């Protein structure tokens, strides 16, 4: 059993932000995950049909994901989801790697559905597509190497016929690539995942220390007047109300904040539609102490007001 996701939101956030450079000083979250009703999605289907890619898509949608969970543990897993305040939406893969124990799944599924809302997603593909994928990956079929792959595919289809009949959705992945399959899952489960489920990181930095490698979007704010040249502001940061008020006093600052915020509010739904689960927006000034800090704070607040989960980090701001 291979857990694909930590059950602790803080660990998820740490994983997503681990690429932040060593110079990062402070960060804060100004919006948290909204609570969700308990939900279990069981992913099953033909070997080579894309179950691993689908599980990864669910993980990026915020589900707690487990691959190859023994079927006898499914009731306990569902109970955990019901009792935990942190683990609510869950997804797991069950397939022929279970061997003869897979025959227990229909009965277990019937019992679990009485305790937690459960959906079964069955993935399949044409014999030709599956043969091509096994040939490209050069991996053996889970049923073993004693028989040709095409014979194993036919045997697996027969073995899974009863489970396929119980599925809430059957997805034929024959003509899908990984990105198209991910997009389909995102679209199908968009309501459960929330329209604004993306995590936005607003990061300030100094160009003299280099551009953050993890940045998706970079905005240069060095065109704004620099508080560094005002002696009383030099030892302070952009989080100080006096410094922020000074930077905000210039008309170009107000216009920049408004235009960038409007642009991001326009762009974020399109990123979500493409399946992106987090976005890092970096604002850079010379040293990462004044202007970029103030702008990251202000834009982060506006995105939070627009309903998005926002994390603010100041990579190069001195303590």
pLDDT in tens, 201-251: 999 999 999 999 889 999 999 999 999 999 999 999 999 999 999 999 999
Which pLDDT score, from 0 to 100, does residue 36 have?
A: 60
CA 160 to chain centre: 30
Token pair of 94 as six digits? 């069950």
Average pLDDT, the chain: 83
42 or 98: which leads in pLDDT: 42
Q: How many residues does the chain have?
A: 319
Q: pTM for this structure?
A: 0.52
Which pLDDT score, from 0 to 100, does residue 258 have?
A: 96
Which pLDDT score, from 0 to 100, does residue 83 have?
A: 82
117-132 per-position pLDDT tens digit: 999 999 998 988 888 8
Predicted confidence (pLDDT) at residue 17 exceeds the cutoff of 50: no
Predicted confidence (pLDDT) at residue 200 exceeds the cutoff of 70: yes
Predicted confidence (pLDDT) at residue 33 exceeds the cutoff of 70: no
Closest among 144, 152, 83, 151 to 116, alpha carbons compared: 83
* Strands of the 26-29 sheet, one edge to the other: 26-29, 309-314, 199-206, 278-285, 217-220
Which residues have CB under 8 Å from 58's CB, separation 6+?
41, 43, 65, 91, 185, 189
69-86 per-position pLDDT tens digit: 888 999 988 888 888 777
What does the CA dihedral 227, 228, 233, 235 come to, rounded to 10 degrees? 150
CA 142 to chain centre: 29
Q: How far apart, in whole angstroms, are the C-alpha atoms of residue 207 and residue 67?
A: 42
């Amino acid at each position: 059993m291979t857990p694909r996701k930590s059950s602790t939101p803080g660990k998820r956030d740490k994983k997503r932000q681990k690429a932040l450079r060593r110079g990062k000083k402070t960060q804060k979250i100004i919006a948290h995950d909204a609570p969700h009703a308990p939900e279990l999605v069981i992913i099953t289907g033909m070997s080579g049909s894309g179950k691993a890619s689908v599980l990864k898509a669910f993980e990026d949608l915020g589900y707690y994901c487990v691959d190859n969970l023994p079927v006898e543990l499914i009731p306990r897993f569902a109970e955990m989801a019901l009792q935990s305040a942190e683990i609510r939406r869950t997804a797991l893969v069950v397939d022929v790697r279970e061997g003869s124990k897979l025959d227990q799944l229909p009965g277990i599924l019937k019992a679990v559905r009485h305790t937690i809302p459960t959906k079964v997603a069955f993935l399949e593909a044409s014999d030709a597509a599956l043969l091509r994928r096994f040939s490209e990956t050069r991996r053996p079929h889970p049923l073993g190497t004693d028989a040709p792959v095409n014979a194993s595919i036919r045997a697996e289809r027969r073995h899974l016929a009863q489970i396929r009949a119980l599925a809430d959705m059957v997805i034929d992945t024959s003509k899908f690539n990984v990105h198209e399959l991910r997009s389909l899952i995102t679209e199908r489960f968009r309501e459960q995942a929330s329209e604004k489920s993306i995590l936005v990181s607003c990061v300030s930095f100094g160009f003299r220390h280099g551009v953050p490698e993890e940045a998706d979007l970079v905005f240069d704010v060095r065109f704004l007047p620099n508080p560094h040249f005002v002696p009383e502001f030099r030892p302070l940061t952009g989080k100080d109300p006096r410094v922020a008020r000074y930077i905000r006093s210039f008309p170009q600052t107000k216009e920049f904040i408004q235009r960038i915020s409007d642009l991001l509010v326009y762009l974020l739904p399109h990123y979500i539609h493409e399946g992106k689960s987090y976005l890092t927006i970096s604002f850079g000034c010379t040293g990462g102490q004044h202007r970029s800090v103030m702008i990251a704070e202000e834009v982060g607040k506006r995105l939070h007001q627009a309903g998005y989960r926002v994390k603010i980090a100041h990579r190069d701001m001195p303590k």
